[in-house]
Structure 1
């Protein structure tokens, strides 16, 4: 079957034209205009918003959008002009209240008008690129009210006056001010900036300039900073309560510039209260406030850092060059440690552990610690004092803390190899005399030095501990094997020291007493019998002895003395009186050591087992000595110390320095060869730079010395000069 045919329908136009009432637009607009007037007159409760919306809709539909829009502008402008007049006549504090009230009314009116004209907002306005209703209302409010010649200057002046009153301590109505500022912001950021912010910032700059001038004349630095901090916090709070958040950075910049940046130099250098005074008197709160405030301005922190650095360098220079403060090495180093602790605390508590300040502090200490060529020696003497005597009631942990602080100073030393020389000598004396505070503390410091400078730096120090342990085993074997033969000899304890590990000792002559020579020879025979290819040399300048003496008829004491003192005292077994010359001839002790030993035995109150004629504090070559039968002491065991110069004498210092310079030569040559072997060809300046870089962890080599070592290597044909460029060196494989 075929499908039924579909019938087609045709819709035809009206036979007659639909004619719109010519007065439709006018009538409809009158209805809408009346509604807008009622809204502005606060009579909107009787209006039918549905009907009004439909009327506006129909006007747009019938192409009367332009009439509707222009009528809206005219009507709103008329009302806003009336509003402006009512605001203008308001006087005093009522002015802002009236403006705020009218602004609230305008906002409500705009919302209702926008709802009525919503269809126009959606269709007509986008197609004709006109301003939307709500935004139009804001623009008209700005033009006719805010920018009214009689309102604009008054509004600006009133706002600035309120801020000024608040700055001087008055309480103002912040809520009202916040609403007015929000109105300016709602009208557009440019309105807020042009009508208020720009002038507000300029007035603030003038206010703070005057205030800073007043405070700088009557306040000390700490008080000025407190006032600046308070003002800054007040402005931040002010922004949070009623200003635009973007204003915070701008007003803070004004306060910072006028009260900090422009006064920075006077504040830091203010007499009796500036930065240096704060550092000297540990004013952590003031320093922290200065740090936080100066951090906010350009070049603030570098400025106070430079002043701090200059102060530390100057005071440090005075410390290390003051002859009075150099008399006691231990006190000298303690002063350095106290200064370091003081400034570390300042950086930690006041400067927020700022790395740049810490680096400046380290740089300053490195500068002045190395101004004193004896700093390595003094630091070693300080360690010797702490590890030899210990501190009464001091625990291992506290000693560890002291050693950590010493390591900070050690890092500043440019001549670490000089420290090594002295430290080795002092460690040797502590180990050999058995007077070390603690083996654990000694080994702890060596571990710290190894961590800092590497294995090579401490290998010989560790060898010294190995020798001490080996010596104990050797003495045990000595007594086990030939102990039965020693009953007629004095007891003997020997430490056998490896020549390379221990400090270089000059071979000194000292005639040991005949009573001692027998047991010494027994040990020599035993040791060389068990070890082949070795040679023993007695280091009499490093030993100690315990002697039993009888004074008068029956007063007995046991004295702990040095080997030199033992040799001197045993001469008085066969003589009552001896001259200096006779003692020197009999013992052959070197003159400086002999004088110190005699001084210890005859000139120290309470320890004078000898009497000197004539009596004086110094020992002369014409003096005579007698055994003091009248010596008394409350103690049975008496230790007779040797009067020694805690610091090296000038000749000893020169000798140590010479040994250090000699030890440096092979290190410099080794560095040159390593560099040239790798680079093959290098110019003079680059060799100097690279050698310095390689060796600076131990010492700073002198460029003149490096040049001499290069010459030596050329003579020995490790290097050669380029035939064209004399400053260029080549490595000879």
Structure 2
């Protein structure tokens, strides 16, 4: 079959082509032989092609007009068929014909492929031409491709005349579905989406018909329906029940939207339902927030959050109530702290509140940042609370003391991981402090004492804490703390170099174990003004002189200022029944060393030897007399005599004996009968957390308890004890 243009009789060709067009648009079966022999050629519908390239003039225009007329007549005929079946059958008949017609129009578009490509597309203006080209031609005046023409014809001759009754029936059926009546879902979905599909070819506003014809009245009807439903629920239910039923209805309506509507309507319908069922009743819901928050009804709070979150300004009251509740809980936890460990109580109480409500916000409010912000404000208010507005907040000092207690050697029974967790928790509290500079001042003083007096439990933990503070506040905040650490490391090196220096000077020993810390004046929180006058003991003079010689030789131009009040030493008491090793400050040590040559001295003599002022001397003597190492006659005047206590006995031993006796009684009360070696082992095991007891002391405690008739030796064995009830 030749594709060469030729003279064509339009009426004859159209008559044959029309039969196929009718079969295609109604999705009827086309005879394959007729199709192959008469109408097809590879990639070309031959009769359409022949008419488009006919000689002497192409017949494209006439083909387009005849096809358009056929489509209009066909749709008008379908329209008559629909209305003849009555109102109740409108939807099913409409859906039936639409499904057939929409499929047929897509096939018809393929049948007219050559006409679309060579005739229609070439004369169409692009969207850019229509928008910016200044053409006066309206888009409606342009020829449409045959598939588009078929859809446009359906809209003009089927949708426009039937839209009001069809939409009315659609709304009625959707209402029936809401009331749990049976509806034909496929028909509803198909009819509603026909309003979309019929204009889907449009590049601009393809949903305009759908939105105007169906979506707008559907939203109004939905709003009216749920306005009535919400009012009914409010009258019949309490707030908890109201919220649960509203959530169910919102979920059901969202599911219904996805069954029937175009996706562009989902959010709009949900918004309309939320406005009618939630936003219109905000006063009612907000009025219940305070009580729900007070008793922490998690399920109700979760439902309240779910309902209020999508509403503009809906969460404000709930957020404020949560903030107030957390703040009050925090204040109750920290206001009236009592006891010996107030810093620990303060930090642990705050962390308990913070942890509890962090978990609540995560679970109930899905870690919503607005509620996280409320938690932060509440914790900050509780932590920075001032019991007396005229005095500063105590929190920075309490937190620094808590850190000090953790990092000191006296802190026992804490593993490295547990210590790291506790220090990380300290940073949680630290971040809420308003007066971080006050914390820094206290922390640096306590760190200085730990470093100078070697009281730190772990230098790694000290450094880790400083790094945590740096991450929270920056390098400038911890600059001096880092320099303090650097000084201690440098001092270790200096002591090693000093030892080498002594060897080179052929100084075998200094008479004492001597170590020194050299601290930068600007890095440490140590005042250098009003230093007390002091003459170092003769026993230390050689060590001090040699170190000054070493240091001046190593660093020319540097000046050393001796801070004797920060120095300490260890003395061995040999004058008692049993020797004691006692750690004390340099001033105490200087006073006690004078008693190597005498058992009693006047205060005036001590002043003369130590060069301490009278006020400073009396201050130092207070500690020595309170611990009963020395005895002061009469009032502390310069003529008073200070006497060495030759009967000194450390009370610590007595306290330890009482502890061991209590432990022995507990063990024997539980065991009733126990061998001597087993009892010793269990006592050591229990006491190890507090101190390391020696076996002779334990034996004395056992003998004392036998004398007091708490225990007795069994008749069967001399190394077995029984508990006396």
TM-score (normalizing by structure 2):
0.58
State the alpha-carbon separation in 2 of the partners of residues 231 and 175 from structure 1: 22
State the alpha-carbon separation in 2 of the partners of residues 105 and 309 from structure 1: 62
Asked if structure 2 preserves the Cα contact closer than 8 Å seen for 1:511 and 1:588, the reply is no
In the other structure, the counterpart of 1:465 is: 488
State the alpha-carbon separation in 2 of the partners of residues 445 and 38 from structure 1: 82
> Which aligned pairs between 1:171-186 and structure 2 lie closer than 5 A?
172-186=183-197
State the alpha-carbon separation in 1 of the partners of residues 398 and 454 from structure 2: 22
Say which of 389, 394, 402 aligns to 1:374.
394
Asked if structure 2 preserves the Cα contact closer than 8 Å seen for 1:611 and 1:628, the reply is no
State the alpha-carbon separation in 1 of the partners of residues 571 and 237 from structure 2: 70
State the alpha-carbon separation in 2 of the partners of residues 300 and 271 from structure 1: 12
Say which of 439, 442, 446 aligns to 2:459.
439
Asked if structure 1 preserves the Cα contact closer than 8 Å seen for 2:397 and 2:439, the reply is yes
Say which of 501, 526, 530 aligns to 1:504.
526
> Which aligned pairs between 1:196-215 and structure 2 lie closer than 5 A?
196-213=214-231
Structure 1 76/415 Cα, relative in aligned 2: closer, same or farther at 3 Å?
A: closer
Task: Determine if the alignment matches structure 1 residue 633 to structure 2 residue 647.
Answer: no
> Which aligned pairs between 1:494-643 and structure 2 lie closer than 5 A?
500-504=522-526, 517-531=537-551, 534-539=560-565, 543=568, 545=570, 548=573, 601=627, 632-633=653-654
State the alpha-carbon separation in 1 of the partners of residues 244 and 97 from structure 2: 42
Asked if structure 2 preserves the Cα contact closer than 8 Å seen for 1:475 and 1:493, the reply is no
Asked if structure 1 preserves the Cα contact closer than 8 Å seen for 2:400 and 2:442, the reply is yes
5+ residue gaps, structure 1, are: 1-19, 603-608, 613-624, 639-733
**What is the CA distance between 1:385 and its match in structure 2?**
1.0
Q: Secondary structure at the match of 1:434?
A: coil
State the alpha-carbon separation in 2 of the partners of residues 472 and 216 from structure 1: 82
> Which aligned pairs between 1:123-202 and structure 2 lie closer than 5 A?
132=149, 135-143=152-160, 146-147=162-163, 152-153=164-165, 155-168=166-179, 172-187=183-198, 189=207, 192-202=210-220
Asked if structure 1 preserves the Cα contact closer than 8 Å seen for 2:624 and 2:630, the reply is no
State the alpha-carbon separation in 1 of the partners of residues 574 and 239 from structure 2: 70
Asked if structure 1 preserves the Cα contact closer than 8 Å seen for 2:254 and 2:270, the reply is yes
State the alpha-carbon separation in 2 of the partners of residues 485 and 65 from structure 1: 119
In the other structure, the counterpart of 1:258 is: 276
Asked if structure 2 preserves the Cα contact closer than 8 Å seen for 1:294 and 1:301, the reply is yes
In the other structure, the counterpart of 2:349 is: 335
Structure 1 272/311 Cα, relative in aligned 2: closer, same or farther at 3 Å?
A: closer
Task: Determine if the alignment matches structure 1 residue 270 to structure 2 residue 288.
Answer: yes
Q: Secondary structure at the match of 1:539?
A: helix
Asked if structure 2 preserves the Cα contact closer than 8 Å seen for 1:389 and 1:435, the reply is yes
In the other structure, the counterpart of 2:80 is: 81
In the other structure, the counterpart of 1:383 is: 403
State the alpha-carbon separation in 1 of the partners of residues 101 and 25 from structure 2: 10
Asked if structure 1 preserves the Cα contact closer than 8 Å seen for 2:346 and 2:398, the reply is yes
State the alpha-carbon separation in 1 of the partners of residues 571 and 479 from structure 2: 38
**What is the CA distance between 1:344 and its match in structure 2?**
5.2
**What is the CA distance between 1:336 and its match in structure 2?**
3.4
**What is the CA distance between 1:404 and its match in structure 2?**
3.8
Structure 1 175/393 Cα, relative in aligned 2: closer, same or farther at 3 Å?
A: farther
Asked if structure 1 preserves the Cα contact closer than 8 Å seen for 2:293 and 2:301, the reply is yes
Asked if structure 2 preserves the Cα contact closer than 8 Å seen for 1:220 and 1:270, the reply is no
5+ residue gaps, structure 2, are: 1-8, 40-45, 125-140, 200-206, 387-392, 553-558, 607-611, 633-644, 660-725
- Matched pairs, number: 565
**What is the CA distance between 1:321 and its match in structure 2?**
5.2
Q: Secondary structure at the match of 1:296?
A: coil
Q: Secondary structure at the match of 2:288?
A: coil
**What is the CA distance between 1:407 and its match in structure 2?**
3.7
State the alpha-carbon separation in 2 of the partners of residues 449 and 110 from structure 1: 73
Task: Determine if the alignment matches structure 1 residue 237 to structure 2 residue 263.
Answer: no
State the alpha-carbon separation in 2 of the partners of residues 201 and 186 from structure 1: 20
Asked if structure 2 preserves the Cα contact closer than 8 Å seen for 1:291 and 1:301, the reply is yes
**What is the CA distance between 1:301 and its match in structure 2?**
6.1
In the other structure, the counterpart of 1:695 is: none
Q: Secondary structure at the match of 1:246?
A: helix
State the alpha-carbon separation in 2 of the partners of residues 63 and 529 from structure 1: 119
State the alpha-carbon separation in 2 of the partners of residues 211 and 627 from structure 1: 92
RMSD of aligned Cα (Å): 6.1
State the alpha-carbon separation in 2 of the partners of residues 560 and 234 from structure 1: 78
> Which aligned pairs between 1:4-23 and structure 2 lie closer than 5 A?
none
State the alpha-carbon separation in 1 of the partners of residues 111 and 73 from structure 2: 17
Structure 1 537/557 Cα, relative in aligned 2: closer, same or farther at 3 Å?
A: closer
State the alpha-carbon separation in 2 of the partners of residues 185 and 421 from structure 1: 71
Moved more, 384-393 or 429-438: 384-393
State the alpha-carbon separation in 2 of the partners of residues 378 and 207 from structure 1: 60
Give a deviation string over 1:432-476, Cα, whole Å, max 9, x none. Answer: 332211112222333444561427543652355247526744885
> Which aligned pairs between 1:374-453 and structure 2 lie closer than 5 A?
374-389=394-409, 392=412, 394-449=414-469, 452-453=474-475
State the alpha-carbon separation in 2 of the partners of residues 72 and 467 from structure 1: 98
Give a deviation string over 1:17-49, Cα, whole Å, max 9, x none. Answer: xxx9xxx99xx99x989x979999999999989
Q: Greater RCO between the two (CA within 8 Å, min separation 6)? A: 1
Give a deviation string over 1:208-247, Cα, whole Å, max 9, x none. Answer: 3344456667878787666555544444433333211111
Asked if structure 2 preserves the Cα contact closer than 8 Å seen for 1:330 and 1:382, the reply is yes
> Which aligned pairs between 1:642-681 and structure 2 lie closer than 5 A?
none
Structure 1 108/337 Cα, relative in aligned 2: closer, same or farther at 3 Å?
A: closer
State the alpha-carbon separation in 2 of the partners of residues 110 and 349 from structure 1: 54
Asked if structure 1 preserves the Cα contact closer than 8 Å seen for 2:565 and 2:587, the reply is no
Asked if structure 2 preserves the Cα contact closer than 8 Å seen for 1:222 and 1:273, the reply is no
Q: Secondary structure at the match of 1:437?
A: coil
In the other structure, the counterpart of 1:726 is: none
Give a deviation string over 1:196-218, Cα, whole Å, max 9, x none. Answer: 32232223223333444566678
State the alpha-carbon separation in 1 of the partners of residues 107 and 440 from structure 2: 91
Q: Secondary structure at the match of 2:345?
A: helix
State the alpha-carbon separation in 1 of the partners of residues 425 and 355 from structure 2: 9
**What is the CA distance between 1:248 and its match in structure 2?**
1.0
Asked if structure 1 preserves the Cα contact closer than 8 Å seen for 2:219 and 2:269, the reply is yes
Structure 1 204/571 Cα, relative in aligned 2: closer, same or farther at 3 Å?
A: farther
**What is the CA distance between 1:85 and its match in structure 2?**
2.0
Say which of 96, 102, 121 aligns to 1:101.
96
Structure 1 168/229 Cα, relative in aligned 2: closer, same or farther at 3 Å?
A: same
**What is the CA distance between 1:382 and its match in structure 2?**
1.6
State the alpha-carbon separation in 1 of the partners of residues 143 and 563 from structure 2: 112
